[in-house]
Amino acid sequence: KMSLTGKTLFITGASRGIGKAIALRAAQDGANVVIAAKTAEPHPKLPGTIFSAAEEIEAAGGIALPVIVDIRFEDQIKAAVDKAVETFGGIDILVNNASAINLTGTLETSPKRYDLMHSVNTRGTYMTTRECLPHLLKSSNPHVLNLSPPLSMNPKWFKNHVAYTMAKYGMSMCVLGMSEEFKGKVAFNALWPITAIATAAVQNKLGGDVMMNRSRNVDIMSDAAHLILTSDAKDNNNTGNFHIDEILLRRNGVTDFDQYLINPEFKNDLIIDFFLEDDTLDIVEELKHKL
C-alpha cells in the first residue's frame, strides 16, 4: 500500500477543521505539507492559525510550510505555489478544502456574501488548481482532491440556499471537467461526508452544540482522504469519483465507525449532510450487511 512519505501536499484552508485533519494524517506518513490559509493571527471564535497548524504537523512527523494565502487573489496563490516548489521541489497533491458557507435564500444573500462564496469556493478552487497543475503534471502520482458534494440536479438542494449550492457545485464541476481533461495524467476526485462533521463552521454557523453532538469527528474525512491520495493516480478508476466518506471506508474494510463519534449517546441520531440522495444511505445499509 502506498504512503505519503516524502510527498508534498498543498492544502487550502488547512489551519483548522477537515483541512488540518488531512494535513495531520499526511504528516504521520512523513509528508511535506503546505498550509495555504489566511489565518495568521488568532481569531476570537475560530481555533488555529497557519503557525499553530504547522507546529502540530511537525509534531505528527511531517514538514510544514505555513503560507498566508487568500485564494480570492491569484497573486497570493501564485506566490504560495512558488514558495512551495522552491521549498520542497514540487507539488504532488492539491487539496481544495477552503470554503465559505452562507445558507441563505435569494433575498437574504447580499452581493458581498454571494461574491465571497463564489470567489472562494468555485473560483478559488479553479485558480489554485490551475496554478498547481504544471507542477502536478511532473509528479509520479498526482492527485487533486476537492472537498465538495456529488452533483445532483434535485431542486431540493437549490431551493433554500441557491447561492451556496452553485458555489459548492462549481467545485464539483471542476472535478467533473478536469478529471476528463487530465485523464491518465492527474487524478481529480471529490470527497463529501455522509454526516455533519464537527468543525468550527458547524459550531458557529450551522447548529452549535446540538449539531456538534450529532456529528462525526474530522478523522473520518482524513482517513477517507488518505485512501484516495494513496491510490494510483494513473488508473482511470481512481479519477472522476465523487466519494462519500463512509462508503469509501466501508468498501476498504473499515467496520468501526464508533471511533468517529463526537458523542456516543447520539450514535443513532447523526445529522445527514446536504446534497445526498436517499440511495446513498441505501448503499451504506447494504455495505453494513455485506460485511
Catalytic residues: 164
**Burial of 214 per CB tally in 10 Å (0-12, 13-18, 19+):** buried
| Planar angle of CA 227, 117, 228, nearest 5 degrees | 5
Close Cβ partners of 56 (under 8 Å, ≥ 6 residues apart)? 20, 24, 27
**Cβ 95 vs Cβ 19: under 8 Å:** yes
CA-CA distance, 81 to 136, in Å (whole number)? 11
In sequence order, the β-bridge partners of residue 204 are: none
H-run or E-run covering 34: strand 32-37
CA-CA distance, 223 to 246, in Å (whole number)? 10
Q: How far is CA 115 from the centre of its chain?
A: 21
| Alpha helical stretches, state H, the chain | 17-28, 50-59, 74-88, 111-117, 125-136, 162-181, 200-201, 208-213, 219-229, 245-251, 278-290
**Cβ 145 vs Cβ 94: under 8 Å:** yes
**Burial of 26 per CB tally in 10 Å (0-12, 13-18, 19+):** buried
**Cβ 194 vs Cβ 280: under 8 Å:** yes
